Structure 1
Amino acid sequence: MHASSRRTFLKSATAAAAAACIAPRLSAKTLDKPLGLQLYSVREMLPKDFDGTLKKLAAIGYKECEAAGYFGKTPAQWKASMDAAGLKCVSTHHNLADLKSKLSELIDYGKAIGLEYMVCSWAGLHRDPSKKGGELNLDDWRWVADQFNEIGAKVKAAGMTFGYHNHTVEFGTENGVVFYDELLKRTDPASVVFEMDCGWVVGGGHNPVEYLKQSPERFPLFHVKDLVKEANGKYKNVIMGKGSIDYRPIFQAATGLKHCFVEQEEYTYDPIEDLKQDGEFLKKLEY
């Protein structure tokens, strides 16, 4: 090597070494939240063997859960079963009709079992109470947002946080307005958060990352599921990692995430085996 070439090489090497020392070291991270499960995933198992099912879930790695009905248990019985399995129930689902008709009762139950969140799993009510069934229009969704603000304030006063869980219907539009966008706009961030069902955001034709970039703090809760689109245009729920959703950018953008719940609505094998694979995928996912 000529002397001039050697000097050039050494200068380049020195500069590269210096840059390496200054530049942040980039490394992939994995999910740093306890593995959670929405208990709707085992809705057929729980009535047959409540305590045994919870223990099976704990045995395959789940630490937290979200309720979808209390299966006739008193608060003391519910909490005893969770404690015996080593699970923490941090959230629950109720539809809007129940939240409006028996909110005090549901709040008391939630406080007794130590919930952090109470989530509306389904709106389904029209502004006009005489109208039953059918799709909600924009004015209905605006009325729903007002109900959420009222309910959220009461849940907050009781020491918990109120949230809303989406499906795909919220991504319908009227006069160019996306219903979900209107819910985000009209609800008070101090009283209402959102549980993003990432799979159904995708199923509704939207990208979870875009919502997370806009206001990550409004999405402390996730439902995660994987989907494949079938020939008929409908989505099928499959084991995590076997579908079409790339969760890496979603978790990268989820800077406000506090709890993450797997929800498996259809099964390839049996519920416990599928849920085990879901959990293993999430624990290994690097982003």
Structure 2
Amino acid sequence: MTYPISYQLYSSRNFPPLFDQFSHLKSFGYDAIEPWLPAYEADPKTFRQALDDSGLKCHCFHMPLKGLVSEPNRFVDIAQTIGATVMIPPYVAPEDRGTTVEYWRNLGSQLAEGAAIAAEQGLKVAWHNHDFEFRAMADGSRPIDHIFDGAGQGVWFEIDCGWITRAGGDPAAELEKFADRIIAIQVKDLAPVGTTVDDGWVPTGSGIIDWPRLVPLFRKTRVEHIVTEHDNPSDWRGFAKSSINYLKMLGL
């Protein structure tokens, strides 16, 4: 089984104009764009037209947690305009993060409230992880588990294997643990520890993550989309092309 493969547009944010990238991504073999705010916010209709013109889709998009909490209907409208079916808050800034179980469970509850509103329009909400959710708190528990405990079953998960690895975790264990919740998988890869070039990120298949070991676990989840991302590539075209070629080689 193969999956639609999306390109997280954040990867090439430093190489504008963004719309000019779409035709290249289509030629590399990508099916879709996963945008981040503010790429689509100023003019969602124009963003959608650029996608349509290039033959690309938008399955998922990143949005602010505050937007889901305070302006859910505005982001539902954006989702419908750009053609996305999954709304993904991806981050809590360090200055906004709590340190208690209650804080993280409440974050999950906020996701659940937004997901209930989105579901009325046929949309889904998923959380996207970084490293901090997988680092143990003072009591030994992990934020990620409290987030989903608070969220209940109505909130999905876009799992980022690269950030889990950078946190010292095992993506295989988390793919198994959250298999019934995973709707999208980011296949971010890392260079060996100590590498500073491109902030230590590399194209998928060029780093330390054992993807052939993980692919069978992908297929045991409820994944609908695979997403490539690199937080700071010096060559976005090289990253994008190398990554999708590797995924195709794996049969994804």
- Is TM > 0.5 for Structure 1 vs Structure 2? yes
Residue number in structure 2 paired with 1:194: 157
Shift of 1:95: 2.0
Assess if the C-alpha contact under 8 Å between 1:123 and 1:144 holds in 2: no
Aligned-partner residue type, residue 243 of structure 2: D
Residue number in structure 1 paired with 2:211: 247
Shift of 1:233: 10
3-state SS of 2:107 partner: helix
Alignment of 1:175-254 (within 5 A): 175-189=139-153, 191-231=154-194, 236-254=200-218
Write the distance in 1 (CA, Å) between the matches of 2:40 and 2:177: 38
Instruction: Work out whether 1:258 is the aligned partner of 2:224.
Output: yes
3-state SS of 2:59 partner: strand
Instruction: Work out whether 1:37 is the aligned partner of 2:1.
Output: no
Alignment of 1:44-193 (within 5 A): 44-45=14-15, 48-69=16-37, 70-124=39-93, 132-133=95-96, 136-174=99-137, 175-189=139-153, 191-193=154-156
Alignment gaps of 5+ in structure 1: 1-30, 126-131
User: 1:223-246: CA deviations, max 9, x gaps?
Assistant: 111102333899710122221001
Assess if the C-alpha contact under 8 Å between 2:106 and 2:150 holds in 1: no
Write the distance in 1 (CA, Å) between the matches of 2:116 and 2:241: 37
Residue number in structure 1 paired with 2:235: 270
The structure with more strand, counted as a fraction of residues: 1
3-state SS of 1:243 partner: coil
User: Which portions of structure 1, spanning 4 or more consecutive aligned residues, are displaced by more than 6 angstroms?
Assistant: 232-235
Shift of 1:49: 2.3
Write the distance in 2 (CA, Å) between the matches of 1:207 and 1:73: 38
Alignment gaps of 5+ in structure 2: none
Aligned-partner residue type, residue 143 of structure 2: F
> CA 1:133/1:112 → structure 2, altered by over 3 Å: closer, same or farther?
closer
Larger displacement relative to structure 2 (198-207 or 73-82): 73-82
Assess if the C-alpha contact under 8 Å between 2:159 and 2:184 holds in 1: yes
Q: Which has the larger radius of gyration?
A: 1
Shift of 1:181: 1.6
Assess if the C-alpha contact under 8 Å between 2:105 and 2:151 holds in 1: no
User: 1:22-56: CA deviations, max 9, x gaps?
Assistant: xxxxxxxxx611221111111123xx323321111
Count of residue pairs brought into register by the alignment: 247
